């Protein structure tokens, strides 16, 4: 049994709920869990999470929600329905121990080899203005205790212990035999019960930014804060992290999220330009008398000065992401290779 937890520092409940309810992943809502939630409709669920998040006190880099995953390997003796029902019970027990009074929405996915629940979890308890934070030790204790309970109460699931404390002598020997074939990074991943990889974390952070950005300037600030730089190569868009590693958006599964952001930014810029457009000849002008020794500055010129910096930055960001290489040489080829991960 694996439990993963990924925090988000922006209230992107809508994007995450849409993701876990995607038709390609969700077959049925029969086993969905509504923990401390009144709503059942998707849009109402988004509103309920967002409303609860408004109670939180603002804190720089404060967490607003968690995206968590709880999965089990499939049993060879139980039916699919028996496994789903038991996993549903396990998730409910987990939520009682992990976040008894927080809001949580859990959805069953069966599109992979393992049955697993995706959980949208609020950072605060219902109506509370404080974030409920668990230390690494506290979270590990919940993981270990839940695994022990599953192994004892549901042996029919045929789960193998992940945590050393819960492993039998045979399982420990088997684990030690495999250690020589695992990289340090892979072993750490398994030892910690499925802690998310760097790629998963990057995907979560980018999805959060794409959902949260209000306008081009805000988008630029969020990207800079996370250390991301945009780049375009041919028809492909991607990001470079602080270490110089490149990631294509389509390989991260973020193409649709980028297109939605791109459209939103374009509409924002169009609205800004319309709002700052020069008045027509029929538009009445307000005349003011300048003070002695002070030259009167034209109204349009003053507006242009106030918006030049904002528009220039927005244009630059959109151009960087949408521009393609126009000069395609037919006689020479580039020696540089795209090292996208």
Q: Whose structure tokens read 């408004």?
A: 54
How far apart, in whole angstroms, are the C-alpha atoms of residue 148 and residue 224? 43
Q: Note whether 103 and 52 are within 8 A (CB).
A: yes
The CATH class for the domain spanning 2-159 reads alpha beta
Mean predicted confidence (pLDDT) in 235-242: 82
pLDDT at position 316, please? 63
DSSP-derived secondary structure for 34-68: EET----SHHHHHHHHHHHHTTSPP-TT---EEEE
pLDDT at position 329, please? 42
DSSP state for residue 219 in the 8-state scheme: H
DSSP-derived secondary structure for 283-323: S-----PPPTT-PPPPHHHHHHHHHHHHHHHHHHHHHHHH-
Please write the tens of the pLDDT for every residue from 29-88: 999 999 999 999 999 999 999 999 999 999 988 999 999 999 999 998 999 999 999 999
Q: Note whether 123 and 132 are within 8 A (CB).
A: yes
Higher pLDDT pick, 205 / 4: 4
* Model confidence, pTM: 0.57
Higher pLDDT pick, 206 / 126: 126
pLDDT at position 176, please? 72
Mean predicted confidence (pLDDT) in 285-303: 49
Judged by DSSP in three states, 335 sits in coil
Whether residue 93 has pLDDT greater than 60 = yes
How far apart, in whole angstroms, are the C-alpha atoms of residue 246 and residue 243? 9
Higher pLDDT pick, 14 / 227: 14
pLDDT at position 39, please? 94
Please write the tens of the pLDDT for every residue from 118-170: 999 999 999 999 999 999 999 999 999 999 999 999 999 999 898 888 988 88
Nearest to 4 by CA among 93, 84, 94: 94
Whether residue 247 has pLDDT greater than 90 = no
Please write the tens of the pLDDT for every residue from 161-204: 988 889 888 888 877 776 555 445 555 555 555 545 677 778 87
Q: Whose structure tokens read 């030690």?
A: 176
Mean predicted confidence (pLDDT) in 227-242: 82
Whether residue 303 has pLDDT greater than 70 = no
Q: b/e per residue, 24-46, with b = 16+ CB within 10 A?
A: eebeeeebbbebbbeeeeeeebb
Instruction: For residue 73, give every residue at least 6 positions away whose Cβ sits within 8 Å of its Cβ, in sequence order, or none.
Output: 1, 113, 114, 158, 159, 160
Whether residue 3 has pLDDT greater than 60 = yes
Tokens representing residue 255 in the block: 């193409």
DSSP-derived secondary structure for 81-99: HHHHHHHHHHHHHHHHHH-
Q: Note whether 143 and 193 are within 8 A (CB).
A: yes
The rounded percent of the chain whose pLDDT value lies above 90 is 40
What value does the mean pLDDT of the chain take?
80
Whether residue 286 has pLDDT greater than 80 = no
Domain with CATH 3.30.930.30 in the chain: 2-159
Q: Name the pLDDT band for 325 (thresholds 50, 70, 90).
A: very low
CA dihedral 169, 170, 171, 175 (to 10 degrees): 100
């Amino acid at each position: 049994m694996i439990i993963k937890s990924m925090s988000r520092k922006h209230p992107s409940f809508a994007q995450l709920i849409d993701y876990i309810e995607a038709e390609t992943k969700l077959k049925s809502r029969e086993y969905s869990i509504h923990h401390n939630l009144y709503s059942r409709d998707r849009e109402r669920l988004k509103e309920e999470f967002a409303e609860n998040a408004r109670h939180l006190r603002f804190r720089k880099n404060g967490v607003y929600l968690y995206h968590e995953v709880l999965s089990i390997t499939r049993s060879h003796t139980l039916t699919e329905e028996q496994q789903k029902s038991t996993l549903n019970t396990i998730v409910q027990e987990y939520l009682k121990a992990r976040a008894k009074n927080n809001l949580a929405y859990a959805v069953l996915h069966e599109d992979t080899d393992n049955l697993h629940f995706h959980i949208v979890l609020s950072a605060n308890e219902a109506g509370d203005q404080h974030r409920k934070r668990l230390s690494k030790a506290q979270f590990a204790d919940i993981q270990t205790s839940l695994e022990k309970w599953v192994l004892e109460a549901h042996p029919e699931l045929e789960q193998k212990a992940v945590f050393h404390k819960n492993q039998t002598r045979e399982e420990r020997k088997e684990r030690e035999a495999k250690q020589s074939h695992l990289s340090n990074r892979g072993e750490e991943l398994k030892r910690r019960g499925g802690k998310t990889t760097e790629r998963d974390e990057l995907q979560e952070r980018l999805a959060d930014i794409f959902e949260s950005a209000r306008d081009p300037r805000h988008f630029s600030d969020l990207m800079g804060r996370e250390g991301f730089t945009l780049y375009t190569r041919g028809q492909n868009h991607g990001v470079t992290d602080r270490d110089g590693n490149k990631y294509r958006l389509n390989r991260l599964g973020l193409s649709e999220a980028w297109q939605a952001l791109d459209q939103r930014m374009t509409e924002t810029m169009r609205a800004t330009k319309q709002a700052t457009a020069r008045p027509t000849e029929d538009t009445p002008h307000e005349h003011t008398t300048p003070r002695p020794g002070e030259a009167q500055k034209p109204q349009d010129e003053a507006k242009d000065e106030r918006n030049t910096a904002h528009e220039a930055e927005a244009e630059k960001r959109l151009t960087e992401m949408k521009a393609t290489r126009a000069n395609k040489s037919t006689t020479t080829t580039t020696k540089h290779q795209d090292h996208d991960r």
